[in-house]
């Protein structure tokens, strides 16, 4: 399970899929790609 202090947990309300993005991710492009693959809109 992800440590809530180190990761941000995002949930797609339509599919119910959860994805964690490490807060240490330095590239917003990487974070946006993770969210995109989960079916979430880009947020960073």
The pLDDT tens digits of the residues spanning 1-44 come to 555 568 888 888 888 888 888 888 888 888 888 888 888 887 77
Phi first, then psi: give them for residue 12, nearest 5 degrees.
Answer: -85, 115
Indicate the length of the chain as a whole number: 44
DSSP for 1-44 reads ---TTTEEEEE-TTT--EEEEETT---HHHHHHHHHHTTPPP--
Classify the C-alpha dihedral 33-17-26-43 as positive or negative.
positive
- pLDDT, position 24: 83
């Amino acid at each position: 399970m992800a440590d809530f202090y180190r990761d941000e947990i995002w949930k797609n309300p339509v599919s119910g899929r959860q994805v964690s993005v490490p807060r240490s991710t330095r590239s917003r492009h990487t974070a946006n790609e993770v969210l995109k693959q989960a079916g979430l809109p880009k947020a960073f």
